[in-house]
Structure formats: structure tokens, C-alpha cells
Structure 1
């Protein structure tokens, strides 16, 4: 058998042995640890006794040395067991394990010193104990670190190629994530990247710390497969800037939870997740005036129409957190109503809040059902989110779309006006500004209706909220892009120059609620300053890159995902507007 074949066979035998140790029952693993500790200590103490006898002439015979070493090793193992040094699993031992080893060996050394001094009648024999203790700490710690490294290496899949990772952030969070990612997995931290120049060139967990500028070079050379952000306390704007820089590179990007996600959401630092489209927005999220919103909603009866949709359900989540007396969810989709009602009931049970939840199935086109809701419940605030919003579908179904967005709005607004409801908030869209499609035109008519009621209603405050595209809402571009990327492409975009304003679902919900609290009525229009519009083609490219894939440009065969421009659909505009001179 050739040398290389022998090496492969030996490697496989070791892997098989290591994997059997890796998966051994707890008792067998403990026995193996006892045994290795005993052999290590026996060898150290025997050598220590032999050297001490040669230097200090204790006149110990070989048998005495064997007995002395065996006794000392046995006492140490017994003390280790009594002090709980064997409780941590060997697989997860790290450099910190030296501290319990130090404490346990000190206790064992003192006990052995006392007994051996009485046995030999020679206080100078404690030199032997001191030498043994010094080498015991290093020996016990050393074999554990070597064993963990070998077992982790053997525990990885033989057929799987190692995944190389850059961790962005060389602080405590980065160190903890680096250890978690490499523990028993086929992942290797290639390097850490950090903005702090004083750290560049130093090492962390055995990996070099480099400038973030080098990430571009390392990705393009194919050195890394993944970048993980370990920046839990970094500001939203700074995180967005870093993510947008990384989104220009064809490498998968994941992130540790933010500080808010850990404090509020209960996530652990090592709960690594993919980067969301919301984190690409280069602006701080809207921060609501919580006291104003709470004063508006507490102990009130709130009706949310279209409460099972993307925006409607987010409004329901936001409303219920401010302790209303009753939340009425009006929705025509049975499954959507079931989903949000179940979610909110689970939240109420967990938080023990005494909010009455009323799920109602029906359509705003049914005037009798709408009026019955207002008659049976003394409604204080209405958030009208029920609408058809998908431009091409409404364009193909203009009668149904217009009826829902106009007549449905009229029924709800009229019922609120006649019952003297305190506040009515209409959720509108930027497509209602200079509309070029049926959906935008129908929403514009709905805005006019609400403004008309606002001008003639002294008892009900009618308010309108207008915003752009909502990221990750049902039927929007981002979920479609993700689905197309997962299928291998192509990603379809109407036009390379099309631009849209974007906001997050929580932002939309908070804006609606805060606008209702701020608005005095009279048909006021509120809109969110969403910064600069975003090119949809750029957003698609960033989502492809964040998935670790390359864009296949027109006329080139290289790349993973093709972007195909299919042309503007009927009624669509290149650029949307939020304001119009009237």
C-alpha cells in the first residue's frame, strides 16, 4: 500500500475514532477524561519526583516515585470531581477553562502537599509538589484545547468544503459570534474587519483583524463565502451604510441581532439572520411619540378595516400594544382574519393585557354590515386600510377595484360621520398624486370623499395618510425578487430607470397611528419624509448580492442571476410623487 493511501486510511480511522468519542455517552466521555487526566498527572508527578530526588537527594526508590505519583494524581482527580471541574462538556471547553483548572489544582496541591509531607516526613518534598502543580496546569489545559480542536475538525463533514467567513466587528460581540460559528461546524473565520485602526494587524481568536476596505479585495479573490455583521450597538444609519457597501459585492451577508432586537425581542447575540430589505434604507426609522399615541388609544374602541392585510395587520399590532379597550378587526379574507386574530390572541395571553378582540368577516362594500358594526360597537377611532392596491390587477379589473376603493371608503366614512366617531384615518398612497392608473385614481377619489366629510363634520376628525411603497408587503416587489432569486432568476423589473419611495411596514403603521393622534381633522393630509427615491434595479442588484450571488449582465454569460427588463405595465409611472400643488 502506498504512503498516500496509508495516510488516507489513518485519517479516516482517526475521524471514525474521534466521531465515536464525539458522540459517546456522557458516562463514557467522563471516564475517558478521568483516565487522560490521571495519566497526564501521573507522568508529570513521576518526572517531578524523579527530578526532585536527583537534586535534593530524598533517597526515594523507584517504587516510592510510582506510588507518590499515582497517589498525587488520584487525589487531584478526586478533587477535580468534587469541585465540579468535569461538569462542562469537553466539546465546548475553551481558553477560559484554565480558571477552574487553576482553582482545582491549587486545592489538590495543598491536600497532596499535606499528605505527602506526613508520608515522607520531609517538608522539602513540597518542591516536588510545586513543580508538579506548575506543569499540571499547563498539561491539563493543553490536552483539552488540543482535543477540542481535533474533535471539532473530525466532527465536520468530510465531503463538505469549509466555509470562510469575515466577521465585521472585532469587539466582544464579534469574538462571541466567531467562537459560536466555528464551534463544531465546518466554518472558519478568515479574518475580522473593524473600523478601529488601532486594531488592524492584531489577532482575535487566532484570526487577523483587517480594515473593512480589504473586504472588497478578499471577496473578489474568492477568499470568503459569507460576511457576518457583529455590530449590535451601531446606529441604524451606520448599519445601513455598511450594508449598502457590502451589497455592492457578490457575497452573502448576514447579521447578528441589534441591541433593540435582543432587549425587546429576546433574541440571543448568536441568532444570526439574513439582512432584511428594510436595512438597506439609508435613513433612521420614524420614531413615534409614544406618549401621544398612548393617550390617543388607551381605553378606546378601535376599528381597523382591512385588518388582515400587510398594513392593516401592522396597525393592529401597533394599536393593541397601547392598551385599547376593544380592537375590532374587519377583513374580507377568512384566512387573513384567522391569522392576525390568532397572532394577537397569543400576544394578549403572553402579555396579560385586558383588551377585547373582535374579529369580523365582511366587506366594506356591504353597507348594511358596515353600519351594523358601528351600531353594535361604540367606535372611537377608525383606521381605514381596506383597499385594492395592486396596480396591474386593478387595471385589469377596473370596476371591482374602483368600487372597493371608492364605494367602500364612502360607506365607512359615512358611517363614522353619522355616528360621530372621534377620529377617521384613511390610508392612501403616493399613486393618488397625479394618477395615471385606475388604482391611483380610485384612491384619489377616496381622498376627496374623506376631505369632503372632513369639511362638513364638526364631530369627527377626518385625516389622510399618504406614503409610498411598503417593503415586504403582500404583492410588493421585494418578496417577488426574493422568490425569483431563490428560483435562480431571472429577476423581472419594468424599466431600468423606474424609481420608488420605500418605507417599512412598522413605519407605515406608526405613521398612520401618529397622524391620527396629531390630526385635528378637516381632511388634513400627512406624509412621511422618506428621503430620496430608490431605483428598483439597484435594489434588485443589492438583494442578489446579499444572497451571495452575482448579477448576470445583458450580453454576458458570467453571473448567477439575470435581471430582465419587461417594460412598464399599463398605468405605471417611472417616478412616483408624494405631494401635488392644489
Structure 2
């Protein structure tokens, strides 16, 4: 073994294949004073005791914990692009237990297309710690629904909307209408997704006439409604804005879908619409109720709702905030040590929306089986550890629950749950009765209400007692 000064970080590469050799070459060439390779791990027994460029294969993955301790390893690099989820999870958990930084190589394509292969290293994030596999799509069903059709996505510049556009383009629509209110986000979408099939539209779903003109011009076959105000504390200060954007905006989209004989209209909703305690959740629940109202009418459009929890990596997500705080040296702030949330990835959320749209029966609410809820405190601790720090280096402090936040979220009310799945990891919820006439009346008369009167009306409609009256 080479005699390397102990000030250099000792790394262990998992994978002694072509990808592992590329990682080694990058470390040796570009970072000789910062890192030193101790060796490789590989489950291929024929490589055990082999030496590549002076560095040995020390054994299989089962020896990882022992080798970290024996050689005082500070970083583990996963260099197997097709590693299965369970093996990757074991490596991550071992690294966390030993307080060792774990990083992953995206794949050989990224290494080829980037001049500096070490910069292709991706920090392992909470996406790989959710403890479940990604939702698998029925590609044939989606292709038959989307290919050759004109598809409209509202909120197309947002986290979910832009991912929907990305996945829809792979299904060869005739035209993809990317509608958004913010010009910068739509411009960024066009830069990221260059395609002759994308038609950008700057419009506001709250503007009935403007939206009507869009539907008249493009005559969409399928609509995915992702536009919404989602920030809970901000919406606590802005009930009327939340009401107009989340409820009236949804009503406008649904009315246009019916008027222009759209085949399928899917609304993107949230777990915060279940037993809502904040303005964002209440107004999203009103929007769900209107979609269900439309589904009861004589219409050829198939209306449905897709509901899920928090999305990792989205704007306003807790993970980017934690990363920023860790980079600044801490502290990392959590609202409450016992707070839990359901999490999913952006691609997974968009996939669920597409799958539900293809499976939907009008009026249904579709919910992803997201596994167990996760403590925000655990997320913070794990991310600190995986970033190569200890809890002594980066402290965690409680900031207190913000206005409108729940300690624990739900995906379905107890009265909404059907136990059977309609597809892998997708449940369908029961429809809870509510006062449709009162809902319509509120949509027509809200302008005459004061802020307190509007809040009273919204709370009355979304309360469990009113719904079951």
C-alpha cells in the first residue's frame, strides 16, 4: 500500500469496473493532494485480491463496515450505475452509522460528457433513503393516451409542472401547451426542454377570459392542472389570494375542460387538503370538491384528483434549505423535533399524476402509497451525517411550528380509504359528501365577502361536519 500522508481524506470506491476506474483516474489526476484511495470493494469474487493501478480490491460489500473502521475511511464512493436499491441502501446506512460521507456516480454517460469526472459525483440525498422503490408506469397505457394528442399543463414552470412536461414529451404528444403565470419559469422550461412540440403560454388561471382564449386556440385533449399557491405560512397571510388561485383557478380550468370537451382533466392536490387546518389546505380541498362536483355532471370529460405529500427537491422543499444551512456551517433549523411528513421525489410525483390520469374514473381521488411518514429531525440528522459532518459540527435547533402547520400530515381521511390498490402503490379514495350548492354559491359571491366572512365560509365548507351533513 502506498505511504500517503494522513491529512488526505481516505476514500473507498464501491465497484471495480469501468466506472470505478474512471473515478480512480479522476482522483489521481485532479485531486492528488486532497484524497487518497485505500482500495475497491466489489461483489465479483473473481476480482478479490486483484490490484488495479496499484490499488487492491479488498473484498465484497459485506466487509464495508469493517474496512471503514480498520482503515479510518472518510468517504465512500458508489461507482456502480445499475446497483439495486437494497444494496445502495445498505451502503448508505453503513455510512450514516459510521458518520462517513457517501457519494454516488450518476453513470458513465455523465462521466463521458463532463471534463472533470469528480464533479459528476452526486451527494446521496434523502431521495435514496425513502425506503421504497419508485412507482412503475404502465408505459403502453400512457403512450396510447398521450401520443398524438394536444396536452395542456398549467403551472408548467413549477417543480411538478416542469417534470410533467419532461415526461409527457417522451410520450410524443402532438402539442404540449406549457401554461404558466411567471415568464421566468416558463423561459427556463424552454431552455431545459427544447422541443418543437412545446408551445409556451403566459396566462393566469384566475383570468376566465384569458383561459377561455387559450382553450379556444389550442383545443387540448388532456389537461393536467398543477398551478397552485402552495406555501403554507404565506397563504395564512393571504387567504384571498389562495382562494382565487387554488379554488377559482381550478374552477376556471375545470369549466373550460367541460366547455371544450376535453377528454381527461387531472388536478394535482396535496395531503394538506385532508382535514385541512390552513388556508392552503382548505382552498385545495375546495378545488378537489369542485372537481368532484364536475364529475357528477353530464359531461364527456373524465375528472380526477391526484393527492400526494411533500416533494423532495421542489422549490420550498426542506432538503435544499438544510443543504444551504449545512454549507453555511449551521445551525440546521427544524420546526419541531416530532414533526413528520410523507415524502416522494419530483419524478415520482409526476409519474403518479400521469398514471392516475390514464387509470381515472371520473370523480376519484388517487393517492400514492408513500410508505411510512418520516421525521423531519431524522432527515436533518441523516443529511448532516451524509455531508461528512457530526451533530457537534452542525447543531440542530427547533424554530417552532409556523402558522397553519400540522405536526403530522395525512394522505386520506379515515372515511376516505379503500384498502385495495388499483395499481402498484396507488390507492383510490372514497368520495366524502359535501354541499355542492353552497360550494357553487361561494364561488359566485366571494367578492362581496370580507376576509373574516370568507374564512368562515371556507372553514364551514371544508369541515368534516358540513361535508357529512
Identify the TM-score tier after normalising by the shorter chain: 0.7 to 0.9
**Cα distance in 2 for residues equivalent to 1:220 and 1:488:** 26
Equivalent residue number for residue 210 of structure 2: 369
Equivalent residue number for residue 249 of structure 2: 408
Which residue, out of 340, 346, 371, partners 1:499?
A: 340
Q: CA deviation at 1:535?
A: 1.3
8 Å CA contact 2:16, 2:57 repeated in 1: no
Residue 431 in structure 1 maps to residue 272 in structure 2: yes
8 Å CA contact 1:170, 1:193 repeated in 2: yes
Equivalent residue number for residue 390 of structure 1: 231
Residue 524 in structure 1 maps to residue 364 in structure 2: yes
Give the 3 Å change call, closer, same or farther, for CA 482–536 of structure 1 in structure 2. same
Which residue, out of 34, 40, 57, partners 1:192?
A: 40
Which residue, out of 148, 151, 155, partners 1:299?
A: 148
**Cα distance in 2 for residues equivalent to 1:560 and 1:196:** 38
Structure 2, unaligned runs of 5 or more: 416-431, 433-469
Residue 535 in structure 1 maps to residue 375 in structure 2: yes
Equivalent residue number for residue 470 of structure 1: 311
**Cα distance in 2 for residues equivalent to 1:308 and 1:567:** 31
Give the 3 Å change call, closer, same or farther, for CA 445–242 of structure 1 in structure 2. same
Residue 344 in structure 1 maps to residue 185 in structure 2: no
8 Å CA contact 1:498, 1:536 repeated in 2: yes
Give the 3 Å change call, closer, same or farther, for CA 382–267 of structure 1 in structure 2. farther
Query: What SS is found at the alignment partner of 1:183?
Result: helix
Which residue, out of 510, 524, 544, partners 2:384?
A: 544
Q: 1:69-468 counterparts in 2 under 5 A?
A: 161-171=7-17, 173-183=19-29, 185-186=31-32, 187-194=35-42, 204=52, 205-207=54-56, 209-210=58-59, 212=61, 215-216=64-65, 223-258=72-107, 271-345=120-194, 348=195, 355-468=196-309
8 Å CA contact 1:417, 1:457 repeated in 2: no
Give the 3 Å change call, closer, same or farther, for CA 302–209 of structure 1 in structure 2. same
Query: What SS is found at the alignment partner of 2:316?
Result: coil
Structure 1, unaligned runs of 5 or more: 1-148, 349-354, 552-558
**Cα distance in 2 for residues equivalent to 1:303 and 1:415:** 12
Give the 3 Å change call, closer, same or farther, for CA 562–213 of structure 1 in structure 2. farther
8 Å CA contact 2:42, 2:57 repeated in 1: no
Question: Which structure has the larger Rg over C-alpha atoms?
Answer: 1
Equivalent residue number for residue 567 of structure 1: 400
8 Å CA contact 1:191, 1:210 repeated in 2: no
Query: What SS is found at the alignment partner of 1:304?
Result: strand
Q: CA deviation at 1:367?
A: 0.9
**Cα distance in 1 for residues equivalent to 2:339 and 2:270:** 17
Q: CA deviation at 1:184?
A: 5.5
Give the TM-score, by structure 1 length: 0.65
Query: What SS is found at the alignment partner of 2:299?
Result: coil
**Cα distance in 1 for residues equivalent to 2:228 and 2:60:** 49
Query: What SS is found at the alignment partner of 2:97?
Result: coil
8 Å CA contact 1:311, 1:509 repeated in 2: yes
Size of the alignment, in residue pairs?
409
Greater share of helix: 1
Q: Please, which moves more after superposition, 302-311 or 282-291?
A: 282-291
Query: What SS is found at the alignment partner of 1:307?
Result: coil
Q: CA deviation at 1:231?
A: 2.2
**Cα distance in 1 for residues equivalent to 2:366 and 2:320:** 27
Q: CA deviation at 1:342?
A: 2.4
**Cα distance in 1 for residues equivalent to 2:338 and 2:46:** 43
Give the 3 Å change call, closer, same or farther, for CA 328–395 of structure 1 in structure 2. same
**Cα distance in 2 for residues equivalent to 1:281 and 1:229:** 18
Equivalent residue number for residue 455 of structure 2: none
Greater share of strand: 2
Q: Which has the higher contact order (CA 8 A, sep 6+)?
A: 2
**Cα distance in 1 for residues equivalent to 2:283 and 2:40:** 53
Q: Deviations over 1:320-349 (max 9, x none)?
A: 11111111111111110111122222xx2x
Query: What SS is found at the alignment partner of 2:405?
Result: coil
8 Å CA contact 1:199, 1:209 repeated in 2: no
**Cα distance in 1 for residues equivalent to 2:334 and 2:69:** 27
Query: What SS is found at the alignment partner of 2:306?
Result: strand
